[in-house]
Chains A and B, each alone.
Chain A
């Protein structure tokens, strides 16, 4: 072993003996600095015979490279070990932070309503809204329910102490929005009208005096009962799933003619009544200044609360208005 190789071997031994980065860095001047043996040996080259200089020079360079390489390797080893120690000290149990999310929650009705709106927007509808307190004209008369009509009683209306008795009321359905829309917009009309509605139903597990409905109205040329059935079918398949079927049964609403209830199929093969629908009654169109000989349309409506109750199998509809965070934060 040449003296230069010996020099490198000694240096590498020192480097590998360094236990941490500080110790290693402290060795650098002694092993690779100006006063290091390899540096001094290079300086001394001139004192050698010319024929020895080349070999010696190469040997010195090789020794230096060996030392530098050992330095780099050891540095990487020690840095990695130091990082491991430092990171270990930072260890966190992430499960400690799983609980108690900071984000709030949209109300179940809002979530349901948004989903419904989005389906109908995709089908080419816009969303119309109206006041919750209405006059008899919008809630009844314009909808072909004259003052003496037996159907009025079935709406279980909550009246408001304004105007003549029974002239102003909390709307008992979202249908007044149909009238308001037809009064102010030219056909074609494709709207849905979600919103709060009111009836004199004492609150219990399945009833609330204030609840939510969504209503659809289409007025266009050549609209048929087949369009109504097809639209309900398309909506139901989009909202509930492609396997869900619909059927229409004749029914009666003063503001539609023909009128029907629509049912959706349940997995067990039975049918569930979802809402009411029908072709807009010519009298309703006339009441809004629309010529029923030119324009035809359909309307449909159903309860949003009931959908939420069905979807999440709520056993008490009052949870929707109790505002209990133990309920609200579930959705």
Chain B
């Protein structure tokens, strides 16, 4: 919502002061200033000029030669890039030496060989509007002669324009007068509405119109008047200028007054061509299923039973209540009699229709936030009639005032202690009452009573409860005047075990040279298929782009994209890790995806062992119980270089290498080692359970054993067998060499282990160790095809 200082002053003449400070005061009221502009400045040197002649530039297509009279009575040549002028037009003209509002100085110069002695200005170039496509045409808008300063010619005075951010709970501040009320209250200066008066003609509105509210829950109040001898033309320039300043485009004398009243008083209103409303009879009701209306934008719309409509005597819809008028009842250039509507609509009803039909409008924005249903309605009607009668129209006498259901405004008991308790203040009844009364709340405060009795004004639809009242008191008292305190929690601040473990996983992976990445969780069609996975990701209803229309079911595609991206920038090799959510089809809760926190580690130009080692690192970091690798072929993985990660008997992820075809599909050169774990399950499962075993004081003995092992049997299998065979004196088993080639059978490899024997209570004898060695060999060779070498 934009407001002009001069307009605010029509309601509170004492609002004055430094514009920046006034802006701070507005922000402090919750009307944040998004932009402040001083208007009517920097127009020195810009004069009214008359176009005398137009001719093509002999040497350029995109500019023309314009001869203007800028006051001297003689033709002055300028080169101009706009072509919207005609001979005889009055335009704003920047003379030589003028410094434009943007800082540019106008000098005499040659353009392609032709002299240019100034500049014809567009509205935006001189800050008088948004139009920058053509030269501003002022014909008919001034009685001044060429050469007159533009400020005089247009009656421009210096003013301050604030663009305010008005929150949804402030319907009152969607108007100049409402902002003036708030600001005047904060500044402690008087606020009053001027008298808006007009003289009515001999006719009576009740003879010409009937308003029938069929659904009182839709329409709380409907005021109507009829106006005759209306002439559709251009509105007075002061109205146009204010509309332009507040960001609206002047249309015609009737629409402009309608908009002016809405901006000034916050009351949207609508005019019907009285001739197109048979008998002036209007019925306000909900639409019936399948009902249609062609709105004034020419679009035929299908309605639902919740929508509010205006129907005529024959029950045909002629308008979409509070949202948009109907095409058939719209005023036209030939309209002379109008029916003026000023209504209050149920905000949720209007809001639903606006949202469903996607028809936001200035009027709709005000209705859905809750317009004023009180005295401001007849006031706005008066203002409209005053402005239109000034242009010669004849307003019929009287007002139709039909009532529906309006919000309950029974005086509300408000506990003084509760208001202070919410705010953290110690205000007395008098101070609270003063603050509330300053913005139009009615307050009764019996002396010594614990409660105030507060009547909430009709311009604050959103304000309903004691807490809402507390907010108003706080707003007028000033949030920054509240004493600041810090509550001390009885809770000891801490991270959960899960959160701590997650941090240690991150630290371990960073230590292992992995960079953490955070791709967005969106995938495009084909991403999952390219990664060798089923395309069963949950899809988005309104994705921004197709490449971001599916929720990831695995972290793999994101990593492969990141690796490819870095390869394409000749960075790498890379090691990445990520902890992020993945989303699978709903399971227990049919509404929500099966969402889990996953961990992934990827290494480009790396083979499967790198991923297995990183898994080992995590095993060590988290002290995972019994981590086993069970050969498998997970989706997207290298068929002979991958395994399920089994922790405490449950599959928690997979490790190995990405399928070469998948790498190719993502344009990755080389191999990618990959580890993905259901981190949530891992960290919620057993981990971190470390047990002390005494460090032996006695010597240890190492024995190396090499076996020929068929490829079908894993190294872990042999090591496990030997651990069993070696018993508790077998302190460690380490695989230190793998060999394939001559001397080893096809389909098998040699695995060499170093076994360390050590007892905690004695030095072991050679005989003892020999026995255990034999036990280990026997255990290993129990596996079919395993032979000691």
A-side interface residues toward B, CB under 8 Å? 102-107, 109-110, 114, 117, 120-127, 131-135, 146-154, 158-163, 165-168, 170, 188, 190, 196, 200-203, 208-210, 218, 220, 222-227, 229-231, 233-234, 247-252, 254, 257-261, 279, 281-282, 296, 320-326, 328-329
Contacts and interface: CB of A to CB of B under 8 A. Distances in A.
Given A151-B168, A210-B522, A323-B576, A162 B593 contact: yes
A247 B481 CA distance: 10
Nearest to A109: B518
A55 B539 CA distance: 110
B723 interface: no
Interface in B482-512: 482-496, 499, 503, 506, 509-512
A258 B487 contact: no
B330 interface: no
Contact of B521 (A190, A210, A296, A324): A210
Contacts of A251: 30, 32, 167
A224 B424 CA distance: 5
A260 B479 contact: yes
A160 B543 CA distance: 9
A114 B471 CA distance: 34
Contacts of B492: 124
A192 B159 CA distance: 46
B348 A148 contact: yes
B26 to A, nearest CB: 10
B693 interface: no
Contacts of A210: 520-522
B465 A227 contact: no
B565 A153 contact: no
A158 B542 contact: yes
Interface in B424-464: 424-425
B475 interface: yes
A104 B561 CA distance: 19
A159 B540 contact: yes
14 contacts: A102-B513, A104-B513, A121-B494, A124-B492, A132-B581, A150-B365, A152-B355, A160-B538, A161-B538, A162-B590, A210-B521, A227-B485, A257-B465, A321-B519
Contacts of B494: 121, 126
A147 B496 CA distance: 35
Contacts of A127: 495-496, 499
Given A132-B583, A249-B30, A259-B167, 20 more contacts: A110-B516, A134-B592, A135-B591, A148-B348, A148-B349, A150-B368, A151-B168, A152-B355, A160-B538, A167-B591, A188-B491, A218-B489, A220-B487, A226-B425, A227-B424, A248-B479, A323-B518, A323-B562, A325-B571, A325-B572
A195 B456 CA distance: 39
B749 interface: no
Contacts of A103: 510-511, 513
Nearest to A154: B168
B493 A258 contact: no
Nearest to A203: B544
Given A160-B551, A227-B486, A150 B168 contact: yes
Given A103-B510, A149-B351, A227 B30 contact: no
Contact of A150 (B351, B424, B465, B470): B351
B73 to A, nearest CB: 51
A227 B487 contact: yes
A206 to B, nearest CB: 15
Given A110-B506, A151-B168, A227-B485, A131 B495 contact: no
Contacts of B422: 224-225, 258, 279, 296
Of B512, B542, B561, the most chain A CB neighbours within 10 A belong to: B542
B170 A252 contact: yes
Interface in B1-51: 27-30, 32
Contact of A132 (B167, B169, B424, B595): B595
Interface string B530-560: 0000000011111110001001000000000
B515 A325 contact: yes
A296 B422 CA distance: 8
A165 B490 CA distance: 43
Contacts of A230: 484-487
A250 B519 contact: no
B616 interface: no
Given A151-B168, A249-B479, A161 B516 contact: no
Contacts of A102: 513
A200 B489 CA distance: 37
Given A226-B425, A257-B468, A328-B516, A133 B583 contact: yes
